Structure 1
Amino acid sequence: MIQKGSTLPEADFSQLKNGEMTNPKTNDLFGGKRVLLFAVPGAFTPTCSHAHLPGYVALADKIKAKGIDSIVCLAVNDAFVMDAWGKAHNADAIEMIGDGSAEFTKAIGLDMDTSVFGGIRSLRYAMIVNDCRVEMLNIEDPGRFEVSDAETMLKAL
């Protein structure tokens, strides 16, 4: 499992930008900048839609004012779902990234098997990444939402 001080593994992601499919790599998203990455078990799921993403939408400007170059939301969903979910929540200030094959999520050891409702998904977490290196990492215990929310991360900055 990834830890504070670890370097993020190279992976391919999917993202819709201006209606076009793009496939940014780890270095494209995290290289040479300070990024707040938060991951959710799935787009349009209850806690993710009612609290996690909306918190970051509401506090994006304050978070960026603390020296964060970009905020990235990741889920084991495809780029189309992530784009639709971002639009549904007016998440213009947040990069909505799909890890459809869970390549990145598995590589950092933060995957979970939810075969009953969705297959491999991401654990809920938030991290500060500085030039591809993990500066801070908050992983939620299963079924919890206490340490990866926007308010907690803002206070930590």
Structure 2
Amino acid sequence: MIHKGQAIPAATLSELTDAGMVSHSTDDLFANKRVVLFAVPGAFTPTCSEAHLPGYVVHADQIKAAGIDTIACVAVNDAFVMHAWGEAQNASEILMLGDGNASFTKALGLEMDTADFGGIRSQRYAMVVDNGVVTHLNVEKASAFEVSNAETILDALKA
């Protein structure tokens, strides 16, 4: 599993924009920027839709005011699903990224097998990445939602 002080691995994530499909390399996403990246097990799932993403939507301005250039959400879903979920959640300030084949999630070592629920998914986590290097990482215990929420990350940014 990735740790604080390590570089984000090279991977490609997808985003559906008004101009069409965009492939983002992690090198470009994180270079010379300070990014909050959070991951959810799946778009449109209960905790993800009722608490995780909405918290980042509500606190986006405060997070950016704390020195963050980009807030990004990633899930092992395709870019079409992530785009639809972002629209449904009014997440216009959040970069909604699809990791459809879980290659990024696996490179981070943060995958989990949910078996009948959906197969390989991401663990729930949040991290701060400064110029491609992880400076803060909170990974949730199984079925928990305590340390990857927007409020906890905002508190860490203010510390």
Give yes or no for TM over 0.5. yes
Kindly tell me the number of residue pairs found equivalent between the two proteins: 157
Rounded to whole Å, the distance in 2 between the matches of 1:118 and 1:112 is 10
Secondary structure of the equivalent of 2:57? helix
Alpha-carbon distance in structure 1 between the residues aligned to 2:27 and 2:108: 15
How far did 1:117 drift? 1.2
Aligned to 2:44: 44
- 1:98-130: per-residue Cα shift (whole Å, max 9, x none)? 000000100110000012110100000000000
- Give ranges in structure 2 of 5+ residues lacking alignment: none
The corresponding residue for 2:100 is: 100
Alignment-mate amino acid for residue 81 of structure 2 = V
Cα shift readout 1:132-153 (whole Å, capped 9, x = no counterpart)? 1000000000000000000000
Q: Shift of residue 27 of structure 1?
A: 1.3
Structure 1 runs (4+) deviating above 3 angstroms are none
Scaled by the length of structure 2, what TM-score is found?
0.98
Question: Does residue 2 of structure 2 align to residue 2 of structure 1?
Answer: yes
Describe how 1:7-156 pairs up with structure 2 within 5 A. Answer: 7-156=7-156
Deviation at 1:19, TM superposition (A): 4.5
Q: Secondary structure at the match of 1:144?
A: coil
TM-score for the superposition, normalised by structure 1: 0.99
Q: Distance in 2 between matches of 1:40 and 1:67?
A: 23
SS in structure 2 at match of 1:116: helix
Letter paired with 1:100: G
Alpha-carbon distance, 1:17 to partner = 1.5
1:29-50 deviation line (CA, Å, top 9, x unaligned): 1111000000000000000000
